[in-house]
Amino acid sequence: MEKKRPNSGETQQRSIPLAIRQVNEEERRISVSFSSETPVNRWYGQEILCHDEECVDFMRLNEMSVSLFNHDRDKVIGRIENAICNATEKRTYCDIVFDDDEESEKIYKKVRSGTLKGVSVGYTVSCWEEVRAGATSSNGRFIGPCEVATKWQPYEVSIVSIPADPSVGVGRELDETMQQKQVENIVLSNLERQVQINKNYL
């Protein structure tokens, strides 16, 4: 089966280890990196988020984004500020300002203590460049085979307990698990039917 990359605008996530650059205890603010150009093996091939300045659109993240716990929209733990791309380091950074409610306080303390060690970004890609095996990307920096996101937009940054497996597509893991259970149920049903038939002949 052909492995197709996500459609334009389809939401995706990727995780990296949580590296805190700076902490402001009074404001409950931590500065973190949330993405890089490290290739990630997806179900459709190797994905690279290009971090040239013109490739990343921070408008949504800086204007109205929140920080979540485990990408759960019902678990808002703070807000995102000062999202930027460091074109030299080829990484993105932002400040997470934690709320002071009970649940957010728990997450904040676990981040500060080192118990929670993952950060994950939710994003969409509007433009891809396919780089075939042995070829070089248009900016001369990536060697194929790979899929380079040349226009992408982060829309939320989460603190995560267990980073998601990037090689599994959105919704794919759940679908495959359900399909496996359906197969197991069919096999079990057939076995039970055969046992009943055998009993009838005894």
- Residue 125 · residue 12 · CB < 8 Å: yes
- Residue 90 · residue 37 · CB < 8 Å: yes
Span 87-126, pLDDT tens digits:
899 999 999 999 999 999 999 999 999 899 889 999 999 9
pTM over 0.85: no
Cβ-count burial 162-197 (b if 16+ within 10 Å, e if not): ebbebeebeeeeeeeeeeeeeeeeeeeeeeeeeeee
DSSP letter for each residue of 100-156? -SHHHHHHHHHHHHTS--EEEEEEEEEEEEEE-TT-B-TTS--BSSEEEEEEEEEEE
Q: Determine the Cα–Cα distance for residues 81 and 83; give it in Å rounded to an integer.
A: 6
Q: Determine the Cα–Cα distance for residues 148 and 30; give it in Å rounded to an integer.
A: 29
Q: How far is CA 106 from CA 4, 48, 71, in A?
A: 40, 33, 16
Segments in the chain below pLDDT 50? 1-2, 167-191, 195, 197
Query: Which pLDDT score, from 0 to 100, does residue 165 have?
Result: 52
Q: Determine the Cα–Cα distance for residues 85 and 33; give it in Å rounded to an integer.
A: 9
**61: helix, coil or strand?**
helix
Q: Determine the Cα–Cα distance for residues 121 and 156; give it in Å rounded to an integer.
A: 6
For the chain, the average pLDDT equals 80
Q: How far is CA 107 from CA 97, 154, 176, in A?
A: 12, 22, 31
Residues across the chain: 202
Percent of the chain with pLDDT over 90: 56
